[in-house]
Amino acid sequence: MDQLQQLKQMTTVVADTGDIDAIREYQPVDATTNPSLLLKAAQESKYAALLQEAKAWAGTGDDQLQRMSDRFGVLIGREITQIIPGRISTEVDARLSFDTQATIAKARELIQQYEALDIPRDRVLIKIASTWEGIEAGRQLEQEGINCNLTLLFSFAQAQACADAGIYLISPFVGRILDWHKQRQPDADFSFDQDPGVQSVSRIYRYFKTHDYNTVVMGASFRNTGEIQALAGCDRLTISPALMQALAEDDSELERRLTAETKSDDPREILTESQFRWKMNEDLMAHEKLAEGIRNFAADQVKLEQLLAAC
């Protein structure tokens, strides 16, 4: 078997793309989208009909472009659910990242749209940035039966807070952590287990398993196949089509690296809001990358709305 096939035997593989053709080719269980991926999809002619469908649904009014954007994301999600057996992750507008109640309201709207298209909520994950406000929104949504994917997660504190909030799934980023460290230490060896992003996800995984949290750990944002190989055995990994292809072209043996039996050295800790904010303040990498990620997703959201306005 190639490495992609081997990986699927120990980890649930998730497609990190809005490209329906790529999802059909690599046959992942789940798929994730975000504003950047939706912006890329919206510029391809094969999705023109979905853009027009979103425009017709949105109607007129001051919130037309936002409604079009939401609808386009849901329509892409609908197409993807016809291919995959599992769940589609659809992201809440990043501009709501610091507003708990607005995030909750938007998540409910997205779920209602999916259900109106005969896609049950148990096939959808609502993606929310891992701010304190986002995590608290996720806590309430989970209690309502709306499962969440907490994204833009860079720190152990974010993971702890998500687990204690009962979040269904988290997406700790790997490649963006590596980017931050490489920029500051360009000559350091960050290969395989030395990769700080790999170390972060491994620590989170061990902590969750040791303390019996049900929250799913899904490594995300990969820069190379070495990072994926180093996390083989993680609950889920969301992988771009290019890296899935690279794994599919590699016939060497893939070793399982993470197992539930590996114990954590971190004691269980339930963070208060002030403790969470202090830990984020003290973690320069997580503080900077979370803010940067929200800004970039918000910028791509604006670009998507501008594109929709012209269609």
Question: At 70, is the secondary structure helix, strand, or coil?
Answer: helix
Q: Is 26:7 a contact under the CB 8 Å cutoff? A: no
Listed as own residue / partner, the contacts of 280-284 with beta carbons closer than 8 Å and 24 or more positions apart are 280/155, 280/157, 280/158, 283/154, 283/155, 283/157
Tokens in use for 163? 């687990």
80 near 121, Cβ under 8 Å?
no
Q: Which of 215, 166, 172 is nearest to 196 (CA)?
A: 172
DSSP states along 201-247: HHHHHHHHHHTT--PEEEEB--SSHHHHHHTTTSSEEEE-HHHHHHH
The b/e string for 114-123 (b: 16+ C-beta within 10 A; e otherwise) is: beeeebebeb
* Structure-block tokens of residue 79: 């197409």
Is-catalytic flag, 106? no
- Among candidate residues 19, 111, 71, 17, the one with its CA nearest the CA of residue 308: 71
Helix axes of 273-282 and 156-164: crossing angle, nearest 10 degrees: 160
Residue 31 backbone phi and psi in degrees, to 5: -145, 150
Given 127, 209, 279, 289, the catalytic residue:
127
Catalytic residue numbers?
127
